[in-house]
Amino acid sequence: MAVDLLDTRRCPLKPACENCGEDGNATGPLRTVIVDTPVGILCMALCGGCTDAEAMPSMGYPTAVDRVLQHCGHLGIDADQAERLHDALREADR
Ligand SMILES: [Zn+2]
Ligand SMILES: [Zn+2]
DSSP result, 4-66: -TT--TTSPPPSS-TTT---STTT---EEEEEEETTEEEEEEE-HHHHHHT------HHHHHH
Residues of the domain holding 66: 31-93
pLDDT at 84 over 70: yes
Q: What are residue 89's DSSP bridge partners?
A: none
**Nearest ligand, measured from the Cα of 13:** 2
**Nearest ligand, measured from the Cα of 24:** 1
Looking at residues 53-77, what average pLDDT do you find?
95
pLDDT-derived band at 68, boundaries 50, 70, 90: very high
Give the number of domains in the chain.
1
**Nearest ligand, measured from the Cα of 26:** 1
Is residue 9 in some structural domain?
Answer: no
In angstroms, what is the span from residue 43 Cα to ligand 2's centroid?
5
Is residue 10 in some structural domain?
Answer: no
The rounded distance, in Å, linking the Cα atoms of 33 and 45 is 6
Calculate what percentage of the chain has a pLDDT beyond 70: 96
Its pTM stands at 0.87
